[in-house]
Chain A
Amino acid sequence: MPEGVAESAAGRWRRRSLDLVGRNLSVVVLVLLCLISSAATWREQNPVTSRSGAAVARQVLEACQTPCSVLVVARDTEADRVFVQAIEQGLDTAGARIAGRVFGQPRDVRLELERIAGVGGSFDAIATHRIASEWGPVRTAGTPVFAPRSYHWPTFLTARNLLNVVNQNADIAIIALGMTLVILTAGIDLSVGSLLALAGVIAAVTAQEWFGGAAASPAGLLAAMLLGVAAAALGGLLSGTMVTAFRVPPFVATLGLMMLARGLALILAVGHQRRLVGGGAEGTPEAVRVDAAVFAWLGNGTVFGVPNPILLMLVLFVAAHLLMTRTMFGRYVYAVGGNVEAARLSGVPVTAVLLAVYCLCGAFAGLAGIVDASRFEGGRPNAGELYELQVIAAVVVGGASLAGGRGRIAGTLIGAMIIAVIQNGLNIAGVASYEQKVVFGALILAAVLLDRLQPKIASRRARMTRASTSTPVQ
């Protein structure tokens, strides 16, 4: 009897863990991908920090008798200055002498060496980091060079890279929010990439031409950005109207809007350039540059070290999650997606819900467009090409059903991150873009396959549950 009980306890544990895996399959996949990416990017790391600076100082002091005179070499960056400060502090307390310091390029090192030689000075050692230790003048200076010892760690798992991963895909993730709503209603929106470009270009053009260009106030820039988002939302409203009032299939309606919005973005950008340079200027669809420096804050600024696009993305995700789980609107969206007729006969304002969904999807695309324009300091009429496919992939990988009615905001976040991690992992591992496409295709197929297999898995799990609970009875 006690044996049976123990077995059932083990069985229960097994069952529960399997349950957890099954319910959060996409999370498991994401974690696995992170592990794979980490393994594939196991590399030598040479951080430039105050701790590595202190380590160099210790190395120098161990190797060279005091009084020892040291030349400190570093680049002209903030991290390098912190690093150098730590070196000097370490050397100072031990009484070593600083013969000189260079902040700059290899050429500056050469000039400094020449200067020291010119005045007949000398030094016993060079303290620097790994990168500068490979500079020609440093290597040929004829004195011992001290640099922090490097160690091995996955490049993927560095703070800089992880922030990169999320930041680079924040726009995709933001659009995926809107797309999730549309897909929940069994629709599709192909126009998001074009609306992104249109919003960016409109924000840039109005910032330049209406709100004062380089002299634009933050309020003016905000107004320009809002105009861009509003234009994209209006585009969404247009496809929503086509879908509801004229019963045009969403695929066709948004395909039309996709081309329309892209064309408008290009026309606006070229028109702006013509006005800028004069009538005969070349009609090249280049980015519409925004001169006001503040404009770049949204896309390139950080708060507490976290890039703004990431923060915006997180805020929008929380808002969308609440919208879908806590509000009447969210319930209505799920109902319309699950069964339009039943929703209508239950008093759901189906037309209004669909209009709002497409409008929101456009607005999210517009927001992503503003982020993009800010990131590149100008509206790019060619931005967001083929984004619609990446976005749909993120939503589908996140577990939403293209048939409508099934899918969660949190799932979409994970889907977007899965795609981000794969892309980043492949990039740092140095995989060429063609092979990346193959991996992506396989991933999307795998996700859809998993979606199809899930009911079968569920039934097997349930049978296992019964089997394991019935054991102790026998």
Chain B
Amino acid sequence: MLELQRISKSYPGVDALRAVSLAVGAGEVLGLVGENGAGKSTLIRIVSGAERPDGGRIELDGRAAAFASPADARQRGIAVIHQELSLVPQLSVRENLFLGAGWSRRGIVRRRWEEREARRLLRLLEMDIDPGARCSELSLGARQAVEIAKALALEPRLLILDEPTAALSPREARALLRQVRELARRGAAAIYISHRLEEIEAVADRVAVLRDGELVRSIDRRESAGGDDGLAPLDRDRLIETMVGRALSAEFPPRLPGAIGETRLEVRGLSAGRRVRDVSFDIRRGEVLGLAGLVGAGRTDVARMIFGAAAPDRGEVWLDGRRLELRSPRQAIRSGICLLPEDRRGEGLVLSRSARANFALPNLDRFRRWRALVDRHREGRAFSRWREQLDIRLVRAGQRVATLSGGNQQKVVIARWLERGARVVLCDEPTRGIDVGARYEIYEWIRRMAAEGKAVLLISSELEEVLSMSDRVLVMHDGRVRGEILEPANADPAGVLRTAAGIGLSEAPSVA
């Protein structure tokens, strides 16, 4: 149905795409994988009409097509779910779903019909969202779901999904994958982009691997499977190798030697409205405590309260035996607590400033001279040291952080806290939207920080990640801690999921 022939595109400093040829047919789901910066997003922008290629040809149904704008592409049945949300926060879910769709009769909105249709779409995605709610009030995950519902509402011929599950809980993600398959069964085509290879495995008929702007491998799972509906299993290790261009020992680095010491952080009875209810736990020196759960279970709220960014109704936080009065992130940082926020671009970094300035921001008191002046030499030295150690890739020292890849951005955030020498590290979805290679490096740094005696809280919606990286895992559901897993490496993921989803809670509080 859609065919790309030798598409090329350059940006300042990079050749984003080099003569990439791809095709996707009706009823087919194409998985597109590759490290960040491999050119996936650029490819999508070209297909969706947001950018024009420098060279090459796009054919739709066998005829040359040049999309003038996203609206043009949409009219021809191409819908895109972007990584960046495109919802109007002030409008309701229903209004957003049908915004620009022109589904009104003589300019009058068919409210009743829209309401019904909105509920149907959201049910398909197994999301419990009120169509009348304002988008600004929704969680990131819920907003992502609305975004997807919006694309589905168009009943597109070609659906493009760019990291659609990054903010979704596992259950929501599974529902989404089912919808994609269902769409394909009805004869539509889909291009599915994800870092999560298990999702690719679950959904894609064919897999295309991009690396450095080139198509390096294409796998048709139907051919090799032989059967009618069966798809050949993916060799994930080889796939990762192809993406990265080098072999990785494992998806997760081994635990570094180093004993788990005495209690470092204690949280007692933390409560905030209905979102967090009586949460208590402690983390020891050198321990990684995982916090699993669905989106909206209250995990982020817990981290923000410990960090002083949100005020709890009740509860205490103790650090190394001293009670903390946390009123602001500034105080938390001074006490030695730091946070890698979930929304890196929105909350972690000042995108208009350089990587160096972002690195230095919470550490300026360390580079201080004569009370208020910044010693730029000391600042520069510290930055280059961490830049080297973390392998932060910059074109220039003063490069704006907005132009960095997700992995490098996260490394800048990590570098600033390493320089700070924090005692407690709160990681909220630290690898979201980060490519495989950088992801591995971030895992290594989490391990290393633990080995240095820091207490690490790891919040993650990826079960595999949270189970493999943590020494101990708490499962949250609906604002409460519902289970503790003492040996996460050997835990049954399905059981964890059940707890997170609130199934069978009355029977056993623990899944260990």
Binding site for B on A (CB under 8 A): 326-332, 334-335, 337-339, 341-349, 405-406, 458-459, 461-463, 465-466
Give Cα A464–Cα B181 distance, bound, in whole angstroms.
45
Chain B min CB distance to A236 (Å): 20
CB of B218 within 8 Å of the partner chain = no
Considering the complex, give the chain A residue whose CB is closest to the CB of B365: A328
Q: A338 to B307, Cβ gap below 8 A?
A: no
**Contact A338-B329, Cβ < 8 Å, known A331-B374, A458-B12, A462-B13:** no
> What distance in Å separates the Cβ of B398 from its nearest Cβ neighbour in chain A?
13
Q: Which residues of A are found within 8 Å of B365, using beta-carbon distances?
A: 328
Cα–Cα distance between A326 and B377 once the two chains are bound (Å): 12
A–B complex contacts, Cβ < 8 Å, 6 sampled: A335-B361, A339-B350, A339-B352, A342-B349, A345-B329, A346-B361
Cβ contacts under 8 Å, B350 to chain A: 334-335, 338-339, 342-343, 405
Q: Is the interface of A mostly helix, strand, loop or mixed?
A: helix
Chain B residues in 8 Å Cβ range of A337:
352
Beyond A345-B309, A345-B341, A347-B330: 17 further Cβ-contacts under 8 Å? A327-B372, A327-B373, A327-B374, A331-B361, A338-B351, A339-B352, A342-B347, A342-B348, A343-B361, A345-B329, A346-B358, A346-B416, A347-B334, A405-B353, A406-B352, A458-B12, A465-B12
Count, chain B residues at interface, CB 8 A: 35
CA distance A185 to B226 in the complex (A): 62
Interfacial chain A residues near B360, Cβ < 8 Å: 331
Which residues on the B side are within 8 Å of A327 (C-beta)? 372-374
From A322, which residue of chain B is reached at the shortest CB distance? B373
Q: Is B346 an interface residue (CB 8 A)?
A: yes
Bound-state CA distance A332–B12 (Å) is: 30
Cβ of B113 within 8 Å of any chain A Cβ, yes or no, is no
Is B346 within 8 A of A342, CB to CB?
Answer: yes
Q: Chain A residues with Cβ under 8 A from B353's Cβ?
A: 334-335, 338, 405
The closest CB in chain B to the CB of A336 belongs to B350
Task: Looking at the assembled complex, report how far the CB atom of A352 sits from the nearest CB atom of chain B, in whole angstroms.
Answer: 10
Question: CA A327 – CA B379 in complex, angstroms?
Answer: 12
**Set of chain A residues within 8 Å of B348, measured between Cβ atoms:** 342, 345
How many Å from the CB of A210 to the closest CB on chain B? 34
Which residues of chain B (1-42) have a CB below 8 Å from chain A? Answer: 10-13
Report which residue of A329, A337, A341, A465 has the largest number of chain B beta carbons within 10 angstroms of its beta carbon.
Answer: A341
B327 to chain A, nearest CB (A): 12
Question: Considering the chains assembled together, what is the distance between the CA atoms of A344 and B330 in angstroms?
Answer: 7
Q: B385 an interface residue at 8 Å Cβ cutoff?
A: no
Q: Can you name the residue of chain A whose Cβ is closest to the Cβ of B331?
A: A347
**A328: contacting residue among B330, B332, B346, B364, CB under 8 A:** B364
Interface mask (B365-387 → A, CB under 8 Å = 1, otherwise 0): 10010001110100000000000
CB-defined contacts of A339 to chain B, threshold 8 Å: 346-347, 349-352
Give B294-319 interface residues, CB cut-off 8 Å to A. 307, 309
Contact of A331 among B328, B329, B351, B357 (CB under 8 A): B357
Q: Which 3 A-B pairs have the closest CB atoms?
A: A462-B12, A338-B350, A347-B333
Q: Is B339 an interface residue (CB 8 A)?
A: yes
Closest residue on chain B to residue A406 by CB atoms: B352
Q: Which residue of B lies closest to A404 (CB)?
A: B352
Q: In the complex, what residues of A have CB within 8 A of residue B12's CB?
A: 458-459, 461-463, 465-466
Q: Determine the residue in chain B with the shortest Cβ distance to A331.
A: B364
Known: A342-B350, A343-B350. A329 touches B307 (CB 8 A): no
A326 / chain B contacts, CB cutoff of 8 Å: 373-374, 376
Q: Which residues of B contact A466 (CB under 8 A)?
A: 10, 12-13
Of the listed residues A338, A345, A405, A459, the one surrounded by the most CB atoms of chain B closer than 10 A to its CB is A345
Residues on the A chain within 8 Å of B347, using CB: 339, 341-342, 345
* B362 on interface, CB distance cutoff 8 Å: yes
Residues on the A chain within 8 Å of B361, using CB: 331, 335, 343, 346-348
Question: Could you tell me if A344 and B329 are in contact, using CB atoms closer than 8 angstroms?
Answer: yes
Min CB distance, A447 to chain B, in Å?
19
Q: A330 contacts which chain B residues (CB < 8 A)? A: 374
Query: A326 vs B357: C-alpha distance in the bound complex, in angstroms?
Result: 12
Min CB–CB distance A430 → chain B (angstroms): 43
Residue of A nearest to B11 (CB): A459
B309: A residues at CB distance < 8 A: 344-345
**Which residue of A has the minimal Cβ distance to B364?**
A328
| B residues in contact with A459, CB < 8 Å | 11-12
Q: Give CA–CA (A463, B334) in the complex, Å.
A: 45
Cβ-closest chain A residue relative to B350: A338
* Beta-carbon nearest neighbor of A467 in chain B: B10
A450 to B416 Cα, complex, angstroms: 35
Distance in Å: Cβ of A350 to nearest Cβ of chain B:
9
CB distance from A345 to the nearest CB of B (A): 5
- Which chain A residues border B341 with CB–CB below 8 Å? 345
The answer to whether A329 and B372 have CB atoms under 8 Å apart is yes
Contacts of A346 in B (CB 8 A): 329, 333, 358, 361-362, 416
Residues of A within 8 A of B351 (CB): 338-339
Question: Considering the chains assembled together, what is the distance between the CA atoms of A461 and B350 in angstroms?
Answer: 25
CB B346 to nearest CB in A, in angstroms, measures: 6
In the complex formed, the residue of B with least CB distance to A461 is B12
Chain A residues contacting B334 (CB-CB under 8 Å) are 347
What string of 1s and 0s marks CB contacts (under 8 Å) between B49-79 and chain A? 0000000000000000000000000000000
Distance in Å: Cβ of A295 to nearest Cβ of chain B: 33
Q: How far is the CB of A432 from chain B (nearest CB, A)?
A: 41
**Chain A residues with CB under 8 A of B352:** 334, 337-339, 405-406
Distance between A237 CB and nearest chain B CB, rounded to angstroms:
20
Least Cβ distance of B15 to chain A in Å?
9
B307 — nearest CB in chain A belongs to which residue?
A345
Give the Cβ gap from A388 to chain B, nearest Cβ, in Å. Answer: 25
Q: How far is the CB of A332 from chain B (nearest CB, A)?
A: 8
Q: Which residue of A lies closest to B416 (CB)?
A: A346
B312 CB to nearest chain A CB (Å):
17
Measured in the bound complex, the distance between the Cα atoms of B89 and A25 in whole Å is: 37
Nearest residue, chain B, Cβ from A328: B364
